[in-house]
Structure 1
C-alpha cells in the first residue's frame, strides 16, 4: 500500500467526547451538530482524523458505553442526518472520521438482552453469557468486574447469573455464538456504508471468555501504581487469564479485518488493557490481517519518567514485527495529563514537552480534546459526580468526571460551551483562563505549541513513518533518532526544571521549532537543554 492508502500509519487522531465538546441546542449536553460547528477548529490543529466517543442510543448509565441500539443516534446527540452532515463536513475539511465500537457488551435495555433473559430456549437465549449458580447459590467463578465486585449478576427470571465485566447493566455478549458475531459485524458494516473511515474498538481484548469458566489465579506480585493497579479495587488482585485476552479473539479480529478490507482506506485501533498489553498489541497488529493499530494503558499511568517511556517503547519495538502501535497520554478514562504528569508544577511548560515527545515517537497518536489547551483535571465535589465508577470508589478514586468536563471555548461562566445554566457536568473554573479564546491570541500558548508542532510533524516524514533508536535517558531526559529513507532526525527532550548538557556523537543541524516550544541549542558537539525544552536536529 502507498502512504496515502495507509493514512492511519503515523496519523494523529483527535478524540472528541461529544457530551463535552460543544452544545449546539443549549440543553446542557454536547451533540453532533456541536462537533460539526467546531470542525474549523479541529482542522486548524493539523490532525488527520477525529474519533467520536459513543453517540449511539443508550440509557447512558455509562454515558454511551452501554449501547441499546448499535445503529441509532441517541436523541441527546441528534439523529442520523446530523451524523451524515458531520461526516460530510469532516471530509470537506480533509479529516477522517472514526467512531467508537462497543462490541464486548451491550446495555441491559438492548432488545437482544431483553429477549435473551426471557427464557432458556428463546432464539437469543445464548446471545449473552449465562451460567447456573453453584449448589450453594454463589456466583459461578471468581471473576471480578472492573467497576468493583463480582462479574456476575443474578437474573430472577432465568434463575441464572449473567457475566458483566463492567456495570451490571452492561451484560457481556457471547462471542462463542456465531450468530452474535454475524450480528455485530452487520452493525459495523452499517457505519461503513455511511462513510466512516474507521473504528476505535473499546476493550478489544475482552470479546471472548473461557468457555469452561475457569477461575483466574491470583497475581503473585501486586505493585500499586503499575499499569491499571489500584489496591482499592480487587480487580487488580487477579491474573486475568480466563476472562479476557483469550486466543479465540484472534479469529474474530481476522473476520473484522476482512470486512474492513472491503472498504478501502478504512482502519481500526483497538484498546488493549491486560497484564501483557504490549505483547497483546503486537499479536493483534502483526501480519496485516487483524487490527491496523492498538494502544495500551502503558502511557496512561502516573509514571512520566523517561525511563518508563523508553522501556515501554523498546519493549513493544522488540516484539512488534510488522505491527503498528498507537500511543496516547490522555483520554476520557484517566486523569488529565497536565495534572497526572504535570503534578501542578510548571504544568503548562511540561505539557509542551510531553506533547513534543508523544508526537515524535514511532506510531500513530490519539490526542484527547483539551490536551491541546493544557487543561488540568477539574476538581469536583462528590455531589457533582455522575460517573458510576467514581461514585463507587470515592474518595480514594475520584472517577472520570474530572477529565470529562466541558471544553472552555471562552473565558466566561459557562465557557462558551452552552447557554444552559445546568450543563451535564460543571464548567471548571480552574480551566477558564485556558479557554480557546484566551490562547488564540497568545503565540506562546499550549494551543499554539500543539498546532504549530503538528504542522512540523506533517512536514517531516521521519516523525510519521521512521524507525526509532533510543540513545540516552535518565529520569527526566530522553534522546532518540528517527530514520526514514535517507533522512535522520535527532530528538532530545528535557522534562525537568534543570539545565541538561548532553554530548552527542553526531553532526547535527538544528531545526527551527515553533516559538511556542522552548528550544534547546547546539554548542559544538554538545546539546544544551534548558528547563522544559526540546531540540530536534537533522543528522548530517
Structure 2
C-alpha cells in the first residue's frame, strides 16, 4: 500500500519554516530483527519517542539499495529499500505511523553521485557510445596520462579515477565507488526528477538534498586555483585533507545549478505542502550560496549550512557573527541550523571538551539552537547529551576515517547506536551480541530510560524547551536582532507580529549579570533555565539563560 500524505485539513505549505527536524541515521536507530543494524521497522517502533520529544519532522538518512561503501550515500537503486533496512511496504508503514503521530517525513536524496553498482553507471562505463555514455562525468587523460585537471576528492587524492574499459577518467567528489552524475545532460535531470516524484507519490513530505552545491561541474574542466593558507577552513573537510588547499570554483558551486533547482522546486510544487532542505558544503562561500539557493521562492525552501558544524568554538560573538552574516548574504533566504549530524564530532565534545558540567552545557546549547532564526535539525542522541564515542581502529567502519587515521578518526564516533534502555543488552538497540558499531558504556548510562521523567536530565530539558518554543511563534517564524556582545553574554530578541521575546545566555562557567533593555518585560517561565531578576538586573549562573516578553 502506498501511504497518502493527504488529510481532510488543508495542508500548511509553510510548515517547514521554523520546524524542528529530527535526523535519524537508520543503521543506528533501532534494530527490529536482531542483526545488529537498525532498520525501518525499528524507526517506526520508536516514532513515539520523537512525538513525545516534540519534533515536527524526521529526516531519514539514506536507506536505498547500496553496496554500503559509504553506508548508503552510494545509491545503487533510487526507488527501492535496501533489504538490510526492510522493504517498500515497511517504508509505507513508517509514513503512515509518522503521519498518524503528526510527524512529517523527509528523506535524504543523494543525486550528485551514485554508486558504481548502479545500473546507470554500469551501462555508462561499458563503452563511449551507449545510450548512457554521457550520464556521468567522463574525460580523456592529459597527453602524459595524468588526470584531466587538479580537482581533488573530499575523501583524499584526485577526484578522477581511471577506467580501463572506456580508457577515460571519471569524476568522483567522494569515494572512487561514487561516480558523479552529469547533470549537464537533460536526460539525467529528467531521471532524477522522476525519482523525486516516486517518493512524493509514496507520501513523503520533503527531502534533504545531500551535497546540493556539487551537482554541476565546469564544462571546460578548468583547474581550481590554490587557496591562501590563511583562507583555509576545515569545516568542509578535516584540516589534514589537502582538499582545503584549493578554492573550489570549478568542481562545484556552478551557476547552472540554479536552473536545475528551479526544475526541482517545480516538481515539489506539483504536490501540496512539500519542502526541501539542501546541504551546502563550502567553507568560503557557504552563506552566499545558501542565499542564492533559497531566494525568490522558486528554489529550495531552506538550506543547511556548515557554519555551526565547524570545529570553531561556539561563542557569543560566533553566534551573532553567523546570523548577521546570513542576514546580509541571504536577506530573502531561510536557513536550517544544526550543531551536530552524522558527519561531524558531536557538539558537546567538539566545543565542551574542557567543560566540567556537561549536562548544563548541553542544556544551554539546546536553548541557543532552538531560539535561532531558521529551522532546526536535532541529530539522534543529541537530546540525551551524548558525547563523541572513541572508536578503536579495529572497530572502524568509516572509509574516511580509515584514510586519514589517526589525525582524523572519521565519522563513526557520532554514528554509534542509539541508547534506549540502560539495563538492556546493547542498550535496547538490538538483541544481537554484536552491533555494527560498538555502544560505549558511557552512552548506555545516558539511555532514554535513565533520563525519562527526571526533570534535571538533558532529555527532559529538550522536551520542556521544545514545548516552550511551541508556545511562542516568534521562535519559529520571527526576526532576530542582536544586542552588542559583551564577553560571554549572548543577547538577542525574536519578534513576530505583536510578540517580542528577549533571550539572554551566559556562555561561560562563571556567573554574569545583565541589565534589561529599555521597556517593560514580563519574565517567561516553563523553559527550565536558571536565572534571577533583581529590579532590572538579570543574574545568570554558569550556563544559565533568561527569557522575557515585552509587556
Q: Is TM-score (shorter-chain normalized) higher than 0.5?
A: yes
**Correspondence for 1:398:** 409
The question of 1:512 aligning with 2:520 is answered no
Decide whether the 8 Å contact of 2:303 with 2:334 is kept in 1: yes
Q: Report what 1:293 is aligned to.
A: 302
What's the counterpart of residue 462 of structure 1? Answer: 474
For residue 440 of structure 1, report the CA deviation from its aligned partner. 0.6
Q: Secondary structure at the match of 2:445?
A: helix
2:188 aligned partner: 180
Cα separation, 2, equivalents of 1:355 and 1:95: 21
SS of the aligned residue for 1:99 comes to strand
Work out the CA distance in 1 between the residues paired with 2:383 and 2:186.
43
Aligned to 1:419: 431
Match of 1:6 among 14, 32, 53: 14
Residue matched to 1:481: 493
Task: Decide whether aligned partners of structure 1 residues 474 and 168 sit closer, same or farther in structure 2, where only a CA change above 3 A counts.
Answer: farther
Give the counterpart of 2:358 among 341, 347, 372: 347
Is 1:35 aligned to residue 46 of structure 2?
A: no
After superposition, residues 130-529 of structure 1 pair within 5 angstroms as 130-222=138-230, 227-228=235-236, 230-274=238-282, 275-303=284-312, 304-343=314-353, 345=355, 346-412=357-423, 413-474=425-486, 476-506=488-518, 507-514=520-527, 517-529=528-540
- Residue 86 of structure 1, CA deviation: 0.1
Contact 1:510/1:521, CA 8 A, preserved across alignment: no
Consecutive unaligned residues in structure 1, runs of 5 or more: none
Give 1:228 shift. Answer: 3.0
Per-residue CA deviations over 1:151-186 (Å, capped at 9, x if unaligned) read 000001001000000000000000000000000000
Q: Deviations over 1:343-365 (max 9, x none)?
A: 15222211110100011010000
What is aligned with 1:69? 77
Which of the residues 124, 128, 134 maps onto 1:120? 128
- 1:229 to partner: Cα distance: 5.4
Stretch moving more, 465-474 or 73-82: 465-474
Distance 1:501 1:230, change over 3 A: same
Does 2:31 match 1:18?
A: no
CA contact (8 A) 2:11 2:273 kept: no
User: CA–CA distance in 2 between the matches of 1:522 and 1:295?
Assistant: 37
> Match for residue 6 of structure 2?
none
Please tell me whether the aligned partners of residues 225 and 302 of structure 1 are also in contact (alpha carbons under 8 angstroms): no
Match of 2:100 in 1: 92
Distance 1:476 1:122 in 2: 62
Q: 2:234, 2:93 → 1: CA distance? A: 43
Query: Which secondary structure state, in structure 2, belongs to the residue aligned with residue 434 of structure 1?
Result: coil
User: Against the structure 1 CA distance between its residues 283 and 475, is the aligned structure 2 distance closer, same or farther, given a 3 Å change threshold?
Assistant: farther
Q: CA deviation at 1:523?
A: 1.7
- Does the CA-based 8 Å contact 2:61-2:108 persist in structure 1? yes
Q: Which secondary structure does the structure 1 equivalent of 2:117 belong to?
A: coil
CA distance in 2, matches of 1:505, 1:264: 43
Tell me the CA shift for residue 197 of structure 1. Answer: 0.2
Deviations 1:62-93 (A, max 9, x none): 00000000001000000000000000000000
Q: CA deviation at 1:3?
A: 9.6
Contact 2:234 2:244 in 1 (8 A): no
Moved more, 306-315 or 520-529: 520-529
Uncovered stretches (5+) of structure 2, i.e. residues with no partner: 1-9
Per-residue deviation, 1:302:
2.1
| Residues 305 and 475 in structure 1, CA contact (< 8 A), matched pair in contact too | no
* Larger CA deviation: 229-238 vs 380-389: 229-238
By how many angstroms is 1:147 displaced?
0.4
Deviation at 1:323, TM superposition (A): 1.6
What is the aligned length?
537
Offset at residue 227 of structure 1 (A): 3.0
RMSD across aligned positions (CA): 1.3
- Taking structure 1 as the reference length, the TM-score comes to 0.98
For 2:345 and 2:487, locate their aligned partners in 1 and report how far apart those are by CA, in whole Å: 21
Does structure 1 conserve the Cα–Cα contact (< 8 Å) formed by 2:107 and 2:206?
A: yes
CA–CA separation in structure 1 for the residues paired with 2:87 and 2:325: 44
Q: Helix, strand or coil for the counterpart of 1:290?
A: coil
> By how many angstroms is 1:221 displaced?
3.3
Question: How far off its partner does 1:401 sit?
Answer: 0.2
Contact 1:349–1:532 (CA<8 Å) still a contact in 2?
A: yes
Q: Which runs of 4+ in 1 moved over 6 A?
A: none
In 2, Cα distance between the equivalents of 1:314 and 1:472?
12
Task: Report Cα offsets for 1:487-538 as digits up to 9, x if no partner.
Answer: 1000001121101111222332111133xx3321322222211111110101
TM-score of the pair, normalised by structure 2: 0.96
Using the alignment, how far apart are the partners of 1:212 and 1:30 within structure 2?
43
Q: 1:207 touches 1:249 (CA, 8 Å); kept in 2?
A: yes
Mapped partners of 2:167, 2:28: distance in 1: 40
